[in-house]
Amino acid sequence: MKSFPQILLAGVDPSDPDNWRLKNYEKREGYLALKTILREKTSPDEVLEEVKKSALRGRGGAGFPTGLKWSFMPKQYEGEKYIVCNSDEGEPGTFKDRDIMQHNPHILIEGMLIAAYTMGVKTGYNYIHGEIWKTYERMEEAVEEARAAGYLGDHILGSSFSFQLHNHHGYGAYICGEETALLESIEGKKGQPRFKPPFPANYGLYGKPTTINNTETFASVPWILRNGGEQYLQIGKPNNGGTKIFSVSGHVNNPGNFEIPLGTPFAELLEMAGGMRGGKKLKGCIPGGSSMPVLPGDVMMKTDMDYDSIAKAGSMLGSGAVIIMDETTCMVKALERLSYFYYEESCGQCTPCREGTGWLYRIINRIENGKGREEDLDLLDNIADNIQGRTICALGDAAAMPVRAMIQHFRDEFAYHIEHKKCMV
Amino acid sequence: MLSIESLKKIDREIAKYPVDQKQSAVMSALAIAQDEKGWLANETMDFVADYLDMPPIAVYEVATFYNMYNLEPTGQYKITVCTNLPCALSGGNDAAAYLKERLGIGFNQTTVDGKFTLREGECMGACGDAPVLLVNNKRMCSFMSNEMVDKLLEELSK
Ligand SMILES: NC(=O)C1=CN([C@@H]2O[C@H](COP(=O)(O)OP(=O)(O)OC[C@H]3O[C@@H](n4cnc5c(N)ncnc54)[C@H](O)[C@@H]3O)[C@@H](O)[C@H]2O)C=CC1
Ligand SMILES: Cc1cc2nc3c(=O)[nH]c(=O)nc-3n(C[C@H](O)[C@H](O)[C@H](O)COP(=O)(O)O)c2cc1C
Ligand code: SF4
Ligand code: FES
C-alpha cells in the first residue's frame, strides 16, 4: 500500500497517558495553523477558500461540502452566531469521534477555533454522546488546558479574536445526533428535530445563525490550513478529499478505527482489520453505519472506500462505520435488531416514522420467530416506501433503507424463514 | 434539596450558557441530581425546575425523553449492556445472557438484595470494544467476556 499521512490520529499514542495533553499536541505542530492565521492576519475569506479547495465533506454522514456550508453563515450579522460540534456519535457501528476526543482532543479545539475565526463566531458548543462519560471529562479537561494557555477566551494569543468553547453532554437519545434535534437538546428541551429549511445557518441555536459540523470534520481543518487544501485533496480523490477514519466492527480479527485515504479499496481496509474472524467468508457488509443499505460481500470486495464509489455500489459511506458480517450471520435476526433500534429511538413526531418503525419491527420480529406470512416481504417494502421521504428528519429513511436493502439482497433467506419457520444458517 | 456540592456543579453548568438561557443546563442538572439521589423523584425534578426557572412539566419532559435518567429507584448498580447489532456480532448477547444468569434477573429487573439492576442499552459508540456495558451511566467496561463479568460483579459485590 502507498504511504499516506495520518491527519486525525497522527502521533497519537493511547498507551501514553499524557500523549493527549496540550504540550504534546503542540509538539506535533498543534495550534500552528491557528497561530499562523492570527500572526499573518489571514483573512476569513482566504481560510474559507482553502477549506473549499480541500473538498472536505461532512464526516457526520451526509457528506455535505464543508466549505460551502460555512459560506452560508451571514457575514454582516449583528448579534451572536454559534458553531456547534456534533459529537453525539450514536449510529450503531460508529466509534471514531470518541477516539479523536479521547486521544487527540486539542485537534478538535483547534479546528473549531479556525472555524469560528472564519465565520466570525464567538461561542461554540461541543455536544457529546452521554454514554462516553470519560470522554466528556477528557474534553472538559482539554478545554481548561486550552483556556489556561490562551487558546480559548478573550483576545486569543493577544489578537482581536475571541472564542469561548463549552462541552454539553447528551443523556441517551440517538435522535439528538440529528442536527436540529441536537440544537433543541442544547436549548434544554426534548430532542425533537425541526423542519428544514430553514437550515441552521439561518435559524439555529437560540434562533441565531449556527453552523454544525461533525467532530471529525472540524478535526480535519488544522491540517488543511497547515498544508493547503490542494494537498488534502491530493490524498483522496477528486470530490473526496483527504483521509477518513473507518470504524470496523463485527466479524473481523482486529476491530477498531483505521484512518485511510478516501478511495482505498475495501479489501485493504479489511486486511488492516485483521481479516475475517476464523477465516470465514464475508457475507454482507454495512459500509456506513446501521442506517445505510447493506451490500453483499462480493460487491463490497470490489468497492473503494469513498463517497462516490460506495454510492455507485448501491449504499452510502455515511459515518464510516463498517459492519462486517460473515456467513454464519442470520440476516433476519440482524435486521430485527436494527429495526428494534429505530422503533425504540423514533422521537414520535411524525406518524409515518412513529407508526411505521413499529410495524417494521413487529413484522420482522414475527418472521424471525417463525410466524411470518407469505405476504410479509411485500408488506415490508410497502411500509418502507411509505416512510421514506415523508418525515421531518432522516431517521425515517434510516429505518426504511436497511429493510429494503436486506430484502433486496437476501430475499431467499427471508423467504426461507417464512416458509420453513427456521433459520437457513 | 440538593447538596452544596451538587449546586456548585450545576452553577458551573449554568455559566456555560447565555444568561437568559438557564434552561440549557437542565440535562446536566438532572444528571447531577441523579448522581446524588440515585433517581429522579418528582420533588427532585421540581427542585431542579425551580432552580432553573423552568415550569416543572418542561423538566419532566426532558427527564422522560432521555433514557439514561432513572425515573424510579434502581439497584445500587445499574448495569446497561449493549445488544445492538455491531456488539451482538461480537458477543453482546452472550454478555447479556451471562449477566442474567449470574444475577438471576431479566432486563429491567432488580436483584432482591437491591444491589443490581439490569438494562438493555443501545449503541454506546464503543462497538470495537464489544461486549460493552455501562455501570451507573458513567463507567464503561469493555471486552466483557464471562471472566471479565465475573471480575466486575465480584468487585461491585464487595
Ligand atoms: N455519525 C452518526 O452517528 C450518525 C450519522 N448519521 C448520518 O446522518 C445523515 C443524515 O444527516 P442530515 O443532517 O439529515 O442530512 P442533510 O443532507 O439534511 O444535511 C447535511 C448537512 O448539510 C446541511 N445542508 C444540506 N442541505 C443544505 C442546504 N440546501 N442549505 C444549507 N445547508 C444544507 C445541513 O444543515 C447539514 O448540516 C445520514 O446520511 C447518516 O449517515 C445518521 C445517524 C447517526
Ligand atoms: C437520526 C440522525 C442521527 C444523526 N446522528 C449524527 C451524529 O451522531 N453525529 C453527526 O455528526 N451527525 C449525525 N447526523 C447528521 C447531522 O444531522 C448533520 O448532518 C451533521 O452533524 C453535519 O455535520 P457534517 O456536515 O460535518 O457531517 C445524524 C442525522 C440523523 C438523521
Ligand atoms: S422522522 Fe422519526 S425521528 Fe425524525 S422527526 Fe419524524 S418521528 Fe422524529
Ligand atoms: S453497538 Fe454496542 S457500542 Fe455500538
Query: What does the alpha-carbon distance between residue A385 and residue B131 come to, in Å, rounded to a whole number?
Result: 34
Cβ–Cβ of B138/A132 closer than 8 Å? no
**Within-domain flag for A205:** yes
**Within-domain flag for A278:** yes
Same domain, B60 and B83: no
Residue B123 is nearest to which of A90, A167, A186, comparing CB atoms?
Answer: A90
On the CB side of A9, CA atoms within 13 Å amount to 20
A323: distance to nearest CA of chain B, Å? 6
**Within-domain flag for B94:** yes
Same domain, B30 and B90: no
Q: What is the rounded average pLDDT of the residues A52-68?
A: 96
**Within-domain flag for B15:** yes
Query: What does the alpha-carbon distance between residue A106 and residue A101 come to, in Å, rounded to a whole number?
Result: 8
Comparing alpha-carbon positions, the chain B residue that sits nearest to A136 is: B138
Question: What percentage of chain A carries pLDDT values higher than 70?
Answer: 100
Residue A188 is nearest to which of B24, B83, B88, comparing CB atoms?
Answer: B24
All cell numbers assigned to A195? 423542519
Per-residue pLDDT of A150-197, as tens digits, reads 999 999 999 999 999 999 999 999 999 999 999 999 999 999 999 999
Q: What is the rounded average pLDDT of the residues A273-278?
A: 98
Is pLDDT at B58 greater than 70 in this prediction?
Answer: yes
**Within-domain flag for A1:** no
**Within-domain flag for A85:** yes
* B82 alpha carbon – ligand 4 mean position (Å): 6
Q: Count of domains in chain B?
A: 2
Query: What does the alpha-carbon distance between residue B115 and residue B103 come to, in Å, rounded to a whole number?
Result: 10
> What does DSSP assign to residue A240?
B
> What does DSSP assign to residue A18?
T
Length of chain A as a residue count: 425
Same domain, A32 and A124: yes
Pairing of strands B116-121, B109-110: antiparallel
Q: What share of chain A is helix, strand, coil (3-state, %, to 5)?
A: 45, 15, 40
Tell whether A287 lies on the interface with B, counting CB pairs under 8 A.
Answer: no
**Within-domain flag for B95:** yes
Query: Which atom number of ligand 4 is nearest to the Cα of residue B83?
Result: 2
Distances (CA, A) of A325 to A143, A249, A313: 39, 9, 18
Question: What are phi and psi for residue A187, nearest 5 degrees?
Answer: -75, 0
Residues of A in contact with B86 (CB under 8 A): 92-93, 249-250, 290, 321, 323
Same domain, A160 and A299: no
The neighbour count for residue A403, using CB atoms within 10 Å, is 27
Same domain, B105 and B149: yes
Say if residues A128 and A168 touch (Cβ distance below 8 Å).
yes
Q: Which of A217, A235, A253 is the last residue of a domain?
A: A235
Q: What is the rounded average pLDDT of the residues B64-82?
A: 98
**Within-domain flag for A3:** no
Please choose from A184, A189, A392, A401 the residue to mutate so as to test ligand 3's pocket, defined by most ligand atoms within 8 A of CB. Answer: A392
Is pLDDT at A397 greater than 80 in this prediction?
Answer: yes
Same domain, A163 and A225: yes
Same domain, B9 and B33: yes
**Within-domain flag for A87:** yes
Q: Which residues contact B86 (CB under 8 A, 6 or more apart)?
A: A92, A93, A249, A250, A290, A321, A323, B123, B127, B130
Residue with cell string 491527519: A7
Per-residue pLDDT of A305-322, as tens digits, reads 999 999 999 999 999 999
Q: Which of A298, A326, A354 is the last residue of a domain?
A: A326
Domain of residue B122 covers 77-157
Q: Please give the pLDDT value at position A78.
A: 87
Name which of A9, A131, A185 to mutate to probe chain B: the one with the most chain B Cβ atoms within 10 A of its Cβ: A131
CATH number at residue B40: 1.10.10
Same domain, B49 and B86: no
CA nearest neighbour of A175 among A28, A343, A8: A343
Same domain, A51 and A154: yes
Same domain, B153 and B81: yes
Distances (CA, A) of A363 to A280, A310, A334, B94, B121: 30, 29, 14, 25, 22
Strand A123-128: give its sheet, edge to edge: A164-169, A123-128, A82-87, A210-214
Per-residue pLDDT of B111-154, as tens digits, reads 999 999 999 999 999 999 999 999 999 999 999 999 999 999 99
Distances (CA, A) of B154 to A207, B92, B96, B136: 51, 20, 17, 16
Query: Which atom number of ligand 4 is nearest to the Cα of residue B123?
Result: 4
Same domain, A302 and A348: no
Same domain, A258 and A387: no
Query: What does the alpha-carbon distance between residue A402 and residue A395 come to, in Å, rounded to a whole number?
Result: 12
Comparing alpha-carbon positions, the chain B residue that sits nearest to A343 is: B122
Q: Please give the pLDDT value at position A408.
A: 97
CA nearest neighbour of B63 among B43, B91, B84: B43
Distances (CA, A) of A93 to A20, A115, B14, B99: 24, 28, 33, 23
Q: Count of domains in chain A?
A: 3
Same domain, B52 and B9: yes
Question: What are phi and psi for residue A256, nearest 5 degrees?
Answer: 160, -170
Residues of B in contact with A9 (CB under 8 A): none
Q: Is A177 in the pocket of ligand 1 (CB under 6 A)?
A: yes
Is pLDDT at A422 greater than 70 in this prediction?
Answer: yes
Angle at A203 between CA A344 and CA B52, to 5 degrees: 65
Q: Please give the pLDDT value at position A162.
A: 98
Cis omega (within 30 of 0) for bond into A198: yes
Distances (CA, A) of A314 to A290, A292, A293, A397: 15, 10, 7, 15
All cell numbers assigned to A270? 479489511
Q: Which residues contact A53 (CB under 8 A, 6 or more apart)?
A: A67, A228, A229, A230, A232, A233
Same domain, B51 and B30: yes
**Within-domain flag for B72:** no
> For all residues of chain A together, what is the average pLDDT?
97
Residues of A in contact with B122 (CB under 8 A): 90, 92, 172, 174, 341, 344-345
For residue A199, the ligand closest to its alpha carbon is 1
Same domain, A66 and A212: yes
> What does DSSP assign to residue A416?
H
CATH number at residue B135: 3.40.30.10
CATH number at residue A145: 3.40.50.11540
Query: What does the alpha-carbon distance between residue A209 and residue A203 come to, in Å, rounded to a whole number?
Result: 5
Per-residue pLDDT of B81-99, as tens digits, reads 999 999 999 999 999 999 9
Q: Please give the pLDDT value at position A3.
A: 72
CATH number at residue A268: 3.10.20.600
CA dihedral B126, B128, B131, B137 (to 10 degrees): -10
Same domain, A177 and A320: no
**Within-domain flag for B116:** yes
Same domain, B114 and B89: yes
Q: Please give the pLDDT value at position A2.
A: 56
Domain of residue A310 covers 244-326
In this prediction, residue A199 has a pLDDT band, given cuts at 50, 70 and 90, of: very high
Q: Is B87 known as a binding-site position?
A: yes
A40: distance to nearest CA of chain B, Å? 31
Same domain, A109 and A162: yes
- Strand (E) positions, B14-151? 77-82, 109-110, 116-121, 133-135, 139-141
Residue A92 is nearest to which of B25, B68, B127, comparing CB atoms?
Answer: B127
Helices A395-409 and A331-345, packing angle to 10 deg: 170
Same domain, B60 and B82: no
Same domain, A278 and A208: no
Q: Please give the pLDDT value at position A4.
A: 80
Cβ–Cβ of A92/B84 closer than 8 Å? yes
Q: Which of B38, B65, B92 is the last residue of a domain?
A: B65
All cell numbers assigned to A213? 459540523
**Within-domain flag for B71:** no
Residue A187 is nearest to which of B24, B66, B90, comparing CB atoms?
Answer: B24
**Within-domain flag for A73:** yes
Q: Which of B65, B90, B112 is the last residue of a domain?
A: B65
Per-residue pLDDT of A9-39, as tens digits, reads 999 999 999 999 999 999 999 999 999 999 9
In sequence order, what are the beta bridge partners of A322? A248
Q: What is the rounded average pLDDT of the residues A90-97?
A: 98
Q: A22-53: buried (b, 16+ CB within 10 Å) or exposed (e) per residue? A: bebbeeeebbebbbebbeeebeeeebbebbbb
Same domain, B81 and B150: yes
CATH number at residue A337: 1.20.1440.230
Angle at A270 between CA A266 and CA A271, to 5 degrees: 120
Tell whether A90 lies on the interface with B, counting CB pairs under 8 A.
Answer: yes
> For all residues of chain B together, what is the average pLDDT?
98
Query: What does the alpha-carbon distance between residue A342 and residue A393 come to, in Å, rounded to a whole number?
Result: 13
pTM, full prediction: 0.97
Residues of A in contact with B52 (CB under 8 A): 188
Is pLDDT at A1 greater than 80 in this prediction?
Answer: no
Same domain, B92 and B43: no
Q: What is the rounded average pLDDT of the residues B27-37?
A: 98
Say if residues A60 and A101 touch (Cβ distance below 8 Å).
no
Length of chain B as a residue count: 158
Query: What does the alpha-carbon distance between residue B48 and residue B44 come to, in Å, rounded to a whole number?
Result: 6
Same domain, A356 and A377: yes
**Within-domain flag for A196:** yes
Same domain, A257 and A360: no
Name which of B65, B70, B83 to mutate to probe chain A: the one with the most chain A Cβ atoms within 10 A of its Cβ: B65
